[in-house]
Amino acid sequence: MATEFKVKDEVYVTALKKLGVVKRLEKTGKFTVLVGNIEMVCSASELKPREALDKSSLKALKGIAKPKVRTKTSEGQSLRVDLHGMRVEDAMRLVEKSLDRALIDDYSSLELVHGIGTGAIREALHKYLATLNVVAHFRLDDQNAGVTWVHF
């Protein structure tokens, strides 16, 4: 029996092992779910009602799927990603995945270590970041021009 979800229902997204909120019902019968700051489209089979989870499962959710590199800054929790030695295309793919992870896991900032070198990665990175609505602002580190800070 398929569970019917409504807008504003809190749901568990099984693929991400995260809680989210139903934002829209799509004409296709799927659901747009907000997980952190990310919207994703899910079928009913990919969702469980929050009420279906027992207390121990809800408690365990707090520590699931956290990246290994987490630092405490004066501005909150930050994720650090090292792009040294990568080609621009590879670095940008990793940046995209890291942005998704940082938003889903509710980081306040992302530290991207691109190095100084020719500046190709930094240039591509800043051009890309300027197009993203989820980025409040970004800046070069005051002490190290080989690091860009992204704030959400």
Instruction: Please write the tens of the pLDDT for every residue from 101-152.
Output: 888 888 889 999 999 999 999 999 999 999 999 999 999 999 999 999 999 8
CA distance 58 to 36: 16
Among 84, 85, 81, smallest CA distance to 68 is for 81
Tell me the pLDDT tens digit for each residue of 51-61: 888 776 666 55
Report the CATH fold assignment for 10-61.
SH3 type barrels. (2.30.30)
Among 123, 116, 117, 122, smallest CA distance to 143 is for 116
- Helix, strand, coil shares of the chain as percentages rounded to 5? 25, 35, 40
Concatenated DSSP letters for 11-24? EEETTTTEEEEEEE
- Please give the single-letter amino acid code of residue 130: A
pTM listed for this prediction: 0.56
Report the CATH fold assignment for 70-151.
Ribosomal Protein S8; Chain: A, domain 1 (3.30.1370)
- The domain segmentation of the chain, as residue ranges, is 10-61, 70-151
Instruction: Give residue 65's pLDDT band: very low, low, confident or very high (50, 70, 90).
Output: very low
Tell me the pLDDT tens digit for each residue of 76-92: 677 899 998 889 999 99
